[in-house]
Amino acid sequence: MVNNCKMTPQEISFTNAFNVNRPTLALFSKCASNDELHIVRDAFFLGMASQLCPEEYGSLRVSMITDPASFTSIVKSLNTPRGLESMMTSARASDGWEGLLGALHAVALEVNSDLDDIWMTLEKGRLEWLGALNSSHPLKVILKDALKLDKNSTDRDQMEAKMIYMYALSLSLPAIDETAKVCWRKIVNMEDDMNPLKNYNGELWDPRKEEWRPLDLGVQEAAERGGSTFNDAWEA
């Protein structure tokens, strides 16, 4: 994005287009796969081009409407969960798609903005978070089932379960220093790195310990980069 305090007309136009398309960009937080992420990415690019590259966008739009298969697919999927996917599939298949992307990136380059870099930051964060969620899901199921079965579970039990889940998430997050993970395992006398429940000692799992802070903050930050929160992950 453009950061100059005194912007040129081109920078103002680019910034305005970016702000208009922020809701589309924010859909990355709802994606559950790489394919879904790329649909959102291309929808964002298309939205940006509709305002910054009117000639290329107009040609693409005409191509999509005049192609019978493309038009039929778009119409059938209107107001359905697959509407965006159908539209982007048609746009990508159009002869003008590559030209539109080239024109858009040229406009971005003129204002020193790297759209691919902006997007890849979001994509990387989302995929890392999804990976952590998937790898730690079986343990979360065990923890939540145990809490449900225990009619006498306390707030302390809830807190410990969340800490265990947070530790499990951290194992798949490369941004969190491995040293911090090793340090915590020593603090709680963990016997199996991948199974924190083995010979678990709840008295040692205290979130007030300074050694816990890097894991806590690391997971919270990873969740934010992935368009989510730790609490959302726990409640899902």
Report helix angle 54-66 to 68-76, nearest 10. Answer: 90
pTM across the whole model: 0.90
* Ramachandran quadrant class, 199 (left: phi over 0; alpha: psi -120 to 50; beta: rest): left
- Residue 3: per-residue pLDDT: 55
Q: Dump pLDDT digits (tens) for 39-70.
A: 999 999 999 999 999 999 999 999 988 888 88
First-to-final CA distance of the chain: 33
Calculate the average pLDDT of the chain. 95
* Ramachandran quadrant class, 79 (left: phi over 0; alpha: psi -120 to 50; beta: rest): left
Q: Dump pLDDT digits (tens) for 62-95.
A: 998 888 888 888 888 877 888 899 999 999 999 8
137 contacts 169 by C-beta, under 8 angstroms: no
Q: Dump pLDDT digits (tens) for 106-126.
A: 999 999 999 999 999 999 999
User: φ and ψ at 91, to 5 degrees?
Assistant: -65, -45
94 contacts 63 by C-beta, under 8 angstroms: yes
Grouping H, G, I as helix, E, B as strand and the rest as coil, residue 72 is helix
104 contacts 133 by C-beta, under 8 angstroms: no
Please report, as a single letter, which amino acid is at residue 191: E
Q: How far apart are CA 116 and CA 51, in angstroms?
A: 18
CA angle 71/21/125 to nearest 5° reads 105
Q: Dump pLDDT digits (tens) for 160-217.
A: 999 999 999 999 999 999 999 999 999 999 999 999 999 999 999 999 999 999 999 9
Token pair in block for residue 233: 């992950």
